[in-house]
Chains A and B, each alone.
Chain A
Amino acid sequence: MSSVLESPSLDSQNADAKHAPARPLVIALAGNPNAGKTTLFNSLTGLRQKVANYPGVTVERKEGSWTIASDLRSARLIDLPGLYSLDAASMDERIARDVLTGNIPNLPAPDAIVAVVDATNLERNLYLVTQLLEYGRPLVIALTMVDLALKRGLEIDANELAESLCVPVIPVTAQQRVGLDDLSKAVLRVIGRKAEGARWRLSDCTECELMALMSGGGDSIDRQTALRTLYADELPQDDGLREAIESARERLAHINVNWWQEPLIARYDWIEQISSRAVKKHAAPRLSTTERIDRILTHKFFGPLILIAVMLLVFQTIFSWANLPMDLVDKGFGRLGEAVGSLLAPGLFRDLLVDGIIAGVGGVLVFLPQILLLFFFIAILEDTGYMARAAFLMDRLMRGVGLHGKAFMPLLSSFACAIPGIMATRTIENPKDRLATIMIAPFMSCSARLPVYTLMIAAFFSGRKFFGFLSVGALMIMAMYLLGIMVAIGVAWVLKRTILKAPTPPLVLELPPYRVPNFLTISQMMISRAWLFLKRAGTVIMAISIILWALATFPRPPQANVVNNDAAVAQATKAGEESETDAGVKTAPGLAGQSGEQLSQSYAGRAGHLIEPVIRPLGFDWKMGVALISSFAARETLVSTLSVIYNVGKDRDSSSDSLVNAVREAKREDGSPAWTPLVALSMMVFFVLAMQCMSTVAVVRRETNSWRWPLFMIAYMTVLAYIASFITYQGGRLLGFN
């Protein structure tokens, strides 16, 4: 074995490096989805990787550092999104093409490309390779799943493949680290060498047209450029060239109406020639393991049943497992607030820190366990290949409202929390379908609404039963979930026929072979998603927490003094304790420390009075108005705000029963009860439909890259909530309730 340094081709690499001595090598990793690209990327980079977004789009940009040789600087390994082709149909493909051609800011064109090719699926994987070859960049093929191919009776001759394609082909088994050294050596060897273009030919007529384009006009262009311009979607700017292209297309269309299909078919013809030489087919089992599993999992009858069972399992675990860490986070922040509160001198700064920032950020962080768990399940479902089956099973139903089968999982996730759900819509290629899914995701009743439903039901609907066993409370919660789903369906239907008008999205979806999930991949996905959530949504939430705190604090009543502040701290502690008994109820950002009296004097209190005429027809008074305003930051703050308003938190022993009693006994100025079952129902309906979650707004802003959509979302959801609450309350009164 000669060392890497002695290999002659490294000289050319050194020569190449002279042009840009300062920068590390840039290597791009490209391949079909499910080809084993992520596993290879993780094996090559270990944990030295970072995830960000490409500028202006939500395509994830994964980069890692790869120790390509012990005596060389680590290379920058760019993990391109999973691709079937480079023809820029989707955002992913456009980004990949921009990376390969060096059109991404601060990222030089790659010195070499590693193409990951799945041996079990050679022909379709080679299609992307033919396109990569056409870009002429130095290329190495990493052949994955060779053992799996053997099991299916496919024996692949890597040498023959390398000879036909004129590029090195290295069989790798990334998880066992087999072939990784050979891969590094091969990459170093090809750097500075252009790959020969793919050697496929078009029909004589088309080749003639290409020749004419290459020589015609002022400056001559090479064959690849001519080919790309001839078949590109958009016409070139240059007048002469555009005319030449237009007339060439006209002549080609005259011969064959499907003239544009010619290069695609020609590539596959070439691929079939290569694979007939490089692949030996042996007897294989009639049914693969995947096909056998699918006989059950996509069975006409058992398939949907299993899907429902999987959904139930995911929900059950999210609701029950997440409670413990959520309580810990909540209590931790309560303690932190207490500790900071006792260390600092009483005053505005301490209040800002404890009631504004710590309570507010804690209020967001409390969702982290749920988000992590949900992403854990999504990652497992995706990594095993089940997610594509769920889309397959659900597509017909989703299509009924004009959505894609892929929208099913994000919407399902939104029942736990809309944030990971909205982040999971990234798998939907068509931007309009993705937007429609994002827009209806918050209608799925998330876990933050549960404390509100629970309080309302405990106060007004508990203890009653239908037929002796069906509790009214359970039926009402189910009704609230159903209301959200029905409205979501209606809104999707309207959106897809108006502002997001687009033909029903096509479904051309690969059902990949089932695979044992890779826990490194899964944990990395969880960590990167959690980090994205914390970093972006966290900054916005912090700002909003501070604003809310200020609104609830200023102007300060003249008698505000040290005693009051101590009471505030006691109250913040109390809010923390309450969540022990009532999981999900957490400290209200900005409001936890305010006394009821001060609150009514504050801007938030004044705003409550201000909006009272508007919310009166819904059955709400100004105190509920304050609670509503505060809950626009996060829904469950309604509960803690109400306990502040009704001064429940004064004695530290009070349990959440006291809030239920306070709500039942609350009186209006005229002495009539503030809350009735009808008011509670109206409030619940409002909470089903209103956009009251700043974290969701922040995530929608991030995912859609504009303020237009999140603002539209707030507006239309609030209007819908108002109308529905209005109908509930006024309709109820007409029917004789009060």
Chain B
Amino acid sequence: MEIAENINALFGRTTEQISNAPRSLDILPIGTQARVTGVTGSGAIARRLLEMGVVPGAPVRVIKAAPLGDPIEVRVRGYHLALRRTEAKTISVTSD
């Protein structure tokens, strides 16, 4: 921990700022609530994600991972969605 904080201090950031910085949905720990900031990538998958309500501003919560760690289950707009980590990577989120 200390080392991590030192490194962050070197770059002039605090741990707090790191947790608020946008990151992708696939690395969020299980049980985390976050807010979508954008869907990168183009093509059918990005479109489908947006159509299903994964748009900037929408709250998402990581519910669980499948037995082999992939895919993951998230809750968005009151329903449950399963997606692979590759798809989750294209969704950038920020902690509330």
Contact = CB atoms under 8 A, between A and B. Distances in A.
A404 to B, nearest CB: 10
Interface in A508-531: 508-512
Contact of B39 (A84, A261, A290): A261
A265 B84 contact: no
A506 B82 CA distance: 11
Q: Which of A123, A301, A388 has the most CB of B within 10 A?
A: A123
B1 interface: no
B26 interface: no
A509 B81 contact: yes
B68 A397 contact: yes
Contact of A508 (B52, B55, B64, B77): B52
Nearest to A258: B38
A392 B56 contact: no
B71 A395 contact: yes
A300 interface: yes
B51 interface: yes
Contacts of B71: 392, 395-396, 405, 507, 509
Contacts of A124: 52-53, 77, 79
Interface stretch (B2-10, B14-22, B40-48): B40-48
Interface string B57-88: 01000011011111101000111111110110
B78 to A, nearest CB: 6
A512 B79 CA distance: 7
B87 A508 contact: yes
A261 B50 contact: yes
Interface residues of B, number: 36
A395 B84 contact: yes
Contacts of A391: 82
A298 interface: yes
Given A120-B78, A261-B50, A264-B51, A396 B70 contact: yes
A260 interface: yes
B49 interface: yes
Contact of B82 (A258, A264, A504, A507): A507
A85 interface: yes
A304 interface: yes
A156 to B, nearest CB: 12
A393 interface: yes
Contact of B68 (A396, A509, A511): A396
Given A123-B77, A265-B56, A392 B82 contact: yes
A235 interface: no
Q: Is the interface of B mostly helix, strand, loop or mixed?
A: mixed
Interface string A129-155: 000000000000000000000001010
A284 B14 CA distance: 37
Contacts of B82: 388, 391-392, 395, 507-511
A264 B52 contact: no
A196 interface: no
A507 B72 CA distance: 10
A225 interface: no
Contacts of A258: 38-40, 42
A354 B77 CA distance: 62
Q: Which of A388, A397, A507, A512 has the most CB of B within 10 A?
A: A507
Contacts of B81: 508-511
Contacts of B45: 506, 508
A303 B67 contact: yes
A397 B71 CA distance: 11
Given A507-B87, A511-B80, A84 B51 contact: yes
Nearest to A396: B68
Contacts of B78: 120-123, 152, 154
A637 B66 CA distance: 43
B66 A508 contact: no
Contacts of A290: 80
A37 to B, nearest CB: 16
A123 B52 CA distance: 9
Q: Which of A152, A264, A304, A391 has the most CB of B within 10 A?
A: A264
B44 to A, nearest CB: 5
A301 B67 contact: yes
Contacts of A123: 53, 77-78
A43 to B, nearest CB: 24
Interface string A61-102: 000000000000000000000001101010000000000000
Interface in A289-331: 290-291, 294, 298, 300-301, 303-304
B47 A508 contact: no
Interface string A371-404: 0000000000000000010011101110100000
Q: Which of B48, B51, B68, B69 has the most CB of A within 10 A?
A: B51
A78 B48 CA distance: 25
Contacts of A291: 63
B56 to A, nearest CB: 6
A675 interface: no
A127 B51 contact: yes
Given A123-B77, A399-B84, A509-B71, 14 more contacts: A120-B78, A120-B79, A123-B78, A124-B77, A261-B55, A264-B50, A268-B55, A300-B67, A395-B71, A506-B45, A508-B48, A508-B82, A510-B79, A510-B81
12 contacts: A87-B47, A121-B79, A122-B78, A258-B38, A392-B82, A395-B66, A395-B71, A396-B66, A508-B45, A510-B80, A511-B73, A511-B82
Smallest CB-CB A-B distances: 6 pairs: A396-B68, A511-B80, A264-B50, A85-B51, A509-B82, A506-B45
Interface of B: 38-40, 42, 44-53, 55-56, 58, 63-64, 66-71, 73, 77-84, 86-87
Interface of A: 84-85, 87, 89, 120-124, 127, 152, 154, 258, 260-261, 264-265, 268, 290-291, 294, 298, 300-301, 303-304, 388, 391-393, 395-397, 399, 405, 504, 506-512
